[in-house]
Amino acid sequence: MEILALAEAAQLDVETVAGPDQGFIHNGKWPLLFLLFGLIVSFVFVRINTRLIRKQVSWWPGNIESGDVHVHHVVIGFILMTIVGILEFALQPDGWTQRILALLFGMGLGVSLDEFALIFHLEDVYWKDQGRKSIDAVVIVMAFILMLLVGLVPLGISEEFNETPRWALVGTIVAHSIFVLITLLKGKIWWGLLGIFIPVLAWIAAFRLARPGSPWAHWFYKKRPKKLARAKRRAERYDRTLGRLQDRIWDLIGGKPGRPQPKARGLTLEEVVPDDDRSRQDALPLELGHEAGAEQGSGASD
């Protein structure tokens, strides 16, 4: 009886502090957690799959072929997200049905984002340097979901604004959004992403130099060569330090880009051999994009 009384008291204390609907289970975040789990699991599986194909492991099924057409796994991801999205709107489920749909949607999202670079470049760059953009996309989406899970509110808008005049609320959202947009246009993806939830970071980044390959630099630095030169020097410093560190981490996660080799053992894929002498390409770093030009190699998909 004493144990039960202590448990009830502890539960009462929790509800007194957090409120009955403020816990992790009760505030509608379970579907988001299932979505994140599905994304991570599918991304890890796909990367294991592509690495085994790259190594030409004899017992692994290999690529999906339809006649002479290689079916990229992004197609499977799109099909899965389409089906789940339609079911979500048609059924409008809750409880475990909603969580299972979120899990499946996350799996489709992870499979699709793994070939984000292919969609971005409209070219099979899976094992090229540009293929690191797929890792960037997955990490950015995961970070976005995690920030929502821990309770960060986009653009700093919270319940404290309930009594704020509508014009002030709209003005705050518009101002924050402008700073976030400028930050993204300057090629600072991570600053922009974090700035959605912590606006002061977007304010700071919006006043800093743009990445030399960003849309902002293309629009505003063409007639300002000194500023463009400063931006290039700053980008080069970043690429030599944090940029290279990020590339090593990304290669550890997704595999190292390499050069194509002739087909072997009659398999319908290109074996890609890592090349330690390759220079860095324009994968998206913590600030976005490496502008250093590099020799590009072609590679296999999945």
- For the chain, the domains span 1-114, 155-302
Q: How many CB atoms lie within 10 A of CB 104?
A: 20
Residues 262-293 have pLDDT tens digits of: 443 333 334 444 544 444 444 454 444 444 44
**pLDDT score of 40 more than 90:** yes
Written as six digits, the tokens of 133 are: 């953009």
**Ordered DSSP codes for 95-153:** HHHHHHHHHHHHHHHHHHHTTHHHHHHTS--TTSGGGHHHHHHHHHHHHHHHHHHTT--
**pLDDT score of 20 more than 60:** no
Packing angle, helices 132-149 and 30-54, rounded to 10: 160
**pLDDT score of 18 more than 50:** no
Mean pLDDT of the chain: 77
**pLDDT score of 110 more than 70:** yes
3-class DSSP state for residue 260? Answer: strand
Tell me the whole-structure pTM to 2 decimals: 0.69
Of 110, 146, 66, 95, nearest in space to 253 by CA: 110
User: Which pLDDT band holds residue 181 (cuts at 50, 70, 90)?
Assistant: very high
